Amino acid sequence: MNDPDDVPENEDPWGGRPSRSARKREAEGLQKFGEWLLTLRESELRALGLPENLLEALLVGQNVRSGPAQARQKQYIGKLMRSIDVAALETALAARPEQQRARAKIRR
pLDDT in tens, 3-42: 555 545 555 566 678 888 998 898 898 889 989 999 999 9
**pLDDT tens, residue by residue, 68-103:** 999 999 999 999 999 988 888 888 888 877 655 555
Q: For residue 49, what pLDDT is reported? A: 86
Q: pTM higher than 0.75, yes or no?
A: no
Asked if pLDDT for residue 63 goes beyond 80, the answer is yes
pLDDT for the residue numbered 61: 94
Query: For the chain, what is the HEC assignment?
Result: CCCHHHCCCCCCCCCCCCCHHHHHHHHHHHHHHHHHHCCCCHHHHHHCCCCHHHHHHHHHHHHCCCHHHHHHHHHHHHHHHCCCCHHHHHHHHHCCCHHHHHHHHHHC
Instruction: Please give the Cα distance from 69 to 23 (Å, whole number).
Output: 25
